[in-house]
Structure formats: structure tokens, C-alpha cells
Amino acid sequence: MSEATIRRATMADAVALSVLANRTFIETFVEDLEIPYPEADLGGFLAHANSLEAMERRIADPDVGTWIVEQDGKAVGYAVAGPADLDFDGARLADGMLYRLYILRGLHGLGLAQSLMDVVLAWLVETFGPRPWLVVFSENHRAQRFYARYGFEKVGEYDYPVGEWTDREFVMRRS
């Protein structure tokens, strides 16, 4: 297996990122965390949140950073960050926010998430300042520990809709 590369995504990556986003969401929330999403809610959410059009909008948005992790010519991880678009007391667009950071499950533990987080966090700090936000599923303890190592602390809770289903999320902010 070759060394992974991390780079800013381009429009040519939109299809691969859309597929990867769906795959990592299902791996994380359906398979690993065993959330029993109703099929209609999950399908509708994925079709909207991770559609090709949604990825193209993210990549094209000058205020949003989208990164892809590639290994052996295949997309194995990605991250998206930008203005703190969060309906939470104290959150301002000027603060910045990590929207998503995922690595395929089979590659966990190899340092790819850390390398990706280092790149994205450096961009967030340079672009928006030292105290970005993020939202993480309340039962995703692995991710919470990961973000805590980067100085993120829980500051509240937030309901995140997946169709008609609602996930309880923790709002975290870098101290």
C-alpha cells in the first residue's frame, strides 16, 4: 500500500467524494454505531447531503475548504470546513467550523485522520481564527476523544436531522 496524499478537492473529485461520503456515513452511523435509521430517512438524507450537486457546491464555494485523502489512486477520506454555519448560541460565521472529517473504516489507526485534521485545522485557524466549532454524534466516543486531543471541548448539545429522525449531537469548540 502506498503512502496517502492529502490535497484540496477539485470538481474532478466530486463524484468520488459523493460516493465516499455515503460510504463513510453508512460505515460510521449505521454499521459501527448501529443507529436504526428508517430506510426512507437515511436514503433521503444521503441523497440530499451527499449528492453530486452538494459536493460540487462545496468544492466551488470559495469560503469552504474541501480536502480529499487518496491512497493507491482511490479516495479513502475527506474533510469539509468553512464558516460556522451552526444554529447555536455564540456561533458566528466568522468563527469557522469543521463540518466533516471521515476516513474509511479499514484505514483507521494509520494516522490518516490525524494528518487530515492537521491540514484542515491549520486552514481553519489561518482563515477563521483559533477557536473553530464542530458537531459530533453524542455516542461517537472515538471521534470525541480524537477531537479532544486537538483542544475541542463540549459546549452544548444540538439536534441534527437525518430525515425525520433526529440525532443528538455534541457541539464542541476549540479552547
Asked whether residue 1 carries a pLDDT value surpassing 70, the answer given is: no
| Residues in CB range of 81: below 8 A, 6 or more apart | 64, 65, 96, 97, 98, 99, 120, 123, 124, 132
- How much is the mean pLDDT over the chain? 96
Asked whether residue 2 carries a pLDDT value surpassing 90, the answer given is: no
105 — pLDDT class (breaks 50, 70, 90): very high
Residue 82's pLDDT is what? 98
Percent of the chain with pLDDT over 70: 99
Residue 61's pLDDT is what? 98
In 91-120, which positions are buried (b, 16+ CB within 10 angstroms) versus exposed (e)?
beeebbbbbbbbbbeebeeeebbebbbebb
Q: What is the pLDDT of residues 114-163, one digit of tens each?
A: 999 999 999 999 999 999 999 999 999 999 999 999 999 999 999 999 99
Q: What is the pLDDT of residues 7-27, one digit of tens each?
A: 999 999 999 999 999 999 999
Classify residue 28 by its DSSP letter. I
Per the structure, the count of domains in the chain is: 1
Q: Kindly report the CATH number assigned to the domain that includes residue 18.
A: 3.40.630.30
Segments forming the whole domain that contains residue 66 = 5-174
Asked whether residue 35 carries a pLDDT value surpassing 70, the answer given is: yes
